[in-house]
Structure 1
């Protein structure tokens, strides 16, 4: 059974992912999680603390998903397969969580304590991508890894907003192969 804290965080992610950052209040989290009034503020005294808690919860869950998805990938097709699955998950079964993460990117400026968590989370994927590109012989993995990741972020934003059916693989193949060719 989920703890009161877990229920509050799950509700907070759902609220932000479905209704935006303005929906993130202690009272709304309590109501959505069906907790007694004041429960969320017992765990997170301020809104900044609540934002930081939500960011950490998202990071922990995304990290678990990444650890499971980031299987060894030794060929360009395997790297593309991993990235495609991760984007599919981020825009499919985990779309609410992804929307919450994107909304909180901007809120992190108002909650500076959340920034290190976001930076650490991103660095895991940057490192994995850079290492895969280096292993596959990319001439400049330091430059090409951010290009690949920026493309992934663009696909995610497009699928969550204006193009839900946007094909993932053709764009990933293009950018990964260009990174490997040095084009």
Structure 2
């Protein structure tokens, strides 16, 4: 059985992903998680602490999924297939979590105290992607990592907003081939 803390974080992600950042209150998280009043505030004393907890949880879940599928990728084609599947998953199975992540991106842009956890998580993704691009032979792994993260993020936003059925693999492949040949 999930801990009280984990139940609160899962409920917080559902709230933000389904109703937006304004829905993120300790009382609503308690209610959504079926927890006694005050349970969430026992773990996260302030709203900023709750926001940070949600950001870290989302990033940890996404990194675990990436690590699980990319561990066995050895070629650019395999990475293209995996990244394409991950974008599909982010805009399908895990759409609520993805919406929560993007809502929190915007929240942290307007709240200086909340930026630190987002930047920390982003730097972890950049470092990981830089290593992957280096392994695949990119001449400039830093630029390639930033480009691939930007392309995947753009595809996700596009699919969440104006083009839910927009193509994924051809775009990821074009970006990857460009990153590896530049």
* TM-score, normalized by the shorter chain, greater than 0.5: yes
* Contact 2:159-2:166 at 8 Å conserved across structures: yes
2:176 is aligned to: 176
Q: CA deviation at 1:11?
A: 0.8
Structure 1 residue runs of 5 or longer lacking an equivalent are: none
- Distance verdict in 2 for CA 1:181–1:172, change over 3 Å: same
Q: CA RMSD in A?
A: 1.8
The TM-score, its normalising length taken from structure 1, stands at 0.89
Over 6 Å off, 4+ runs: none
* Contact 2:130-2:142 at 8 Å conserved across structures: yes
- Measured in 2, the distance between the counterparts of 1:65 and 1:149 equals 16
- Measured in 2, the distance between the counterparts of 1:9 and 1:111 equals 22
- Distance verdict in 2 for CA 1:120–1:86, change over 3 Å: farther
3-state SS in 1 of match to 2:174: helix
Structure 2 residue runs of 5 or longer lacking an equivalent are: none
The TM-score, its normalising length taken from structure 2, stands at 0.89
2:45 is aligned to: 45
- How many pairs are equivalent? 181
* Contact 1:74-1:132 at 8 Å conserved across structures: no
3-state SS in 1 of match to 2:170: helix
- Measured in 2, the distance between the counterparts of 1:166 and 1:43 equals 40
* Contact 2:12-2:29 at 8 Å conserved across structures: yes
Equivalent runs, 1:76-155 vs 2, <5 Å: 76-109=76-109, 110=111, 112=113, 114-155=114-155
